[in-house]
Amino acid sequence: MHFQLSSEQTMIVDTVRAFVEKELYPFEDEVERTDAIPPELAKSIQAKAIEVGLYAANMPAELGGGGLDNFTLALMERELGRASYGLQMLIARPSNILRACEGAQIDEYLIPTIRGERHDCLAMTEPNAGSDVRGMQTRATRDGSGENADYLINGTKHFISHADMSDFVVLFAATGVEETSHGPKKKITGFLVDLDSPGLTVRRGPACVSHRGYHQCELFFTDCRVPAYKRLGEEGKGFDLMGQWLGATRLTVAATSVGRGQRVMEMATEWAATRKQFGQPIGKFQGTGFKLADMATELAAAELLTLQAAWKCDQGTMSDSDAAMAKLFASEALARVTDNALQIFGGMGLMNQLPIERFWRDARVERIWDGTSEIQRHIISRAMLRVHGG
Ligand SMILES: Cc1cc2nc3c(=O)[nH]c(=O)nc-3n(C[C@H](O)[C@H](O)[C@H](O)COP(=O)(O)OP(=O)(O)OC[C@H]3O[C@@H](n4cnc5c(N)ncnc54)[C@H](O)[C@@H]3O)c2cc1C
């Protein structure tokens, strides 16, 4: 394993950094103030991202995507993570799970999403099923008999990010129960559902403290009819699909956390070097200088864990624990970094004249979505105990 960047990787990092600074930073304050991204701005950022070849970088090149490996993608995510979340998400990395599309789904969903003509969101979480995904109550029942019978979907999803700016959802619903050695378990199945389907209502959910301009929605399904050909993968194999394609999304959280942390640290360092109290820069006081040292050390460790997991992902050797450790450590490091940065800025850190209070708020969600810190610790410890039959 070596992390010497190739000239192509260096060029990608430089291109993304330049794009973020030129095309995204100037709009951050407006997004923060209005909690909205004007549609014309979204279109223009998307068009520029397509033009410079940054759009759908995670998707296969033969289908029109960027074809980046996971390591290079993690470098790109790190740079994108520096910017406001709502803005950087416009340089879409469509859900990897769309790579499971087959037959007519490829032309109807996968390719248009890679081209930026369609936008996806992902719905697993429900009011009564968060960490316990398998506890979901949304169900898909066959209407008729045979392989080609439609499905009728009923139930409610919440916290569905970006559904207000998407036109279809990768939905997971229960399609039955199977007996296992641990007792009965729900069978979960994936579907591709257009958000304007009859029987589906999309509504903006409550405002979130993190990531203004990036909204969560509620999805209400009432006898929503979905043709059988829109089923993603085999019936009852939704968990296998999630396992196969969604593990790497934890690396996105890890990498974007590292990037944002690095930006915050740079700002805090500059402030500590220039803000004077008692006749000297506050960075000279050990209480402040040591905070900077801790930030740099933790972010370096978070970056190494993330790049190591991404590298292993490319070798086909990444374990669930590898992804969980990267997500856990990077998101928790970001929380400490933003909190320490705010402390270094003192009262100004809390004022909305500077972006520090935003970084501090934005950091909070990273320990919750894509599996909470407790769930990541559960994944890591379960793998350790399993070795001893636990
Ligand atoms: C801003 C935001 C955007 C989101 N976007 C999406 C999205 O686009 N699509 C989607 O499907 N979901 C999305 N989610 C949902 C997110 O993945 C869940 O919030 C997360 O998985 C936790 O579920 P929960 O909120 O229901 O908390 P709960 O599962 O109710 O957990 C509450 C607390 O209990 C703890 N806990 C639960 N089980 C265990 C356990 N076994 N061991 C130890 N502790 C445990 C948790 O760690 C947590 O501290 C989003 C959430 C947020 C906040």
pLDDT tens-place values along the chain, 390 residues long: 778 999 999 999 999 999 999 999 999 999 999 999 999 999 999 999 999 999 999 999 999 999 999 999 999 999 999 999 999 999 999 999 999 999 999 999 999 999 999 999 999 999 999 999 999 999 999 998 877 899 999 999 999 999 999 999 999 999 999 888 888 999 999 999 999 999 999 999 999 999 999 999 999 999 999 999 999 999 999 999 998 888 888 999 999 999 999 999 999 999 999 999 999 999 999 999 999 999 999 999 999 999 999 999 999 999 999 999 999 999 999 999 999 999 999 999 999 999 999 999 999 999 999 999 999 999 999 999 999 987
Q: What is the pLDDT of residue 246?
A: 85
Q: What is the CB-side half-sphere exposure of residue 310 using CA atoms within 13 A?
A: 28
Would 200 be classed as within a structural domain? Answer: yes
Residue 177 sits in a domain whose CATH number is 2.40.110.10
Atom from ligand 1 closest to the CA of residue 208: 1
Atom from ligand 1 closest to the CA of residue 133: 21
Q: What is the pLDDT of residue 247?
A: 83
Q: Closest residue (by CA) to atom 44 of ligand 1?
A: 374
Of the candidates 379, 103, 381, 351, the residue with the CA atom closest to the CA atom of residue 247:
379
Both 219 and 138 in one domain: the answer is: yes
Q: Closest residue (by CA) to atom 11 of ligand 1?
A: 124
Would 194 be classed as within a structural domain? Answer: yes
> Residue 296 is part of which domain span?
246-386
The CA distances from residue 309 to 66, 177, 339, 377, in Å, are: 20, 34, 26, 16
Both 258 and 366 in one domain: the answer is: yes
386 phi and psi, to 5 degrees? Answer: -55, -35
Both 380 and 320 in one domain: the answer is: yes
Would 100 be classed as within a structural domain? Answer: no
Q: What is the pLDDT of residue 111?
A: 98
Both 151 and 180 in one domain: the answer is: yes
Both 56 and 136 in one domain: the answer is: no
Q: What is the pLDDT of residue 59?
A: 97
Both 251 and 227 in one domain: the answer is: no
Domain boundary among 235, 264, 285: 235
371 CA to centre of ligand 1 in angstroms:
6
Both 254 and 379 in one domain: the answer is: yes
Domain boundary among 174, 207, 235: 235
Residue 101: which residues within 8 A CB-CB, separation 6 or more? 109, 110, 192, 232
Atom from ligand 1 closest to the CA of residue 123: 11
Q: What is the pLDDT of residue 125?
A: 98
242 CA to centre of ligand 1 in angstroms:
16
Mutating to test ligand 1, I would choose from 85, 122, 125, 331 the residue with most ligand atoms within 8 A of its C-beta, which is 125
Q: Closest residue (by CA) to atom 19 of ligand 1?
A: 369
114 CA to centre of ligand 1 in angstroms:
28
Q: How many domains does the chain have?
A: 3
Atom from ligand 1 closest to the CA of residue 124: 11
Q: Closest residue (by CA) to atom 6 of ligand 1?
A: 160
Both 272 and 312 in one domain: the answer is: yes
For 222, the 3-state DSSP assignment is strand
Give dist(CA 162, CA 204) in Å, integer: 10
Q: pTM value?
A: 0.96
* Residues in contact with ligand 1 (CB, 6 Å cut-off): 121-125, 130-131, 159-161, 208, 216, 365, 368-372, 374-375, 378
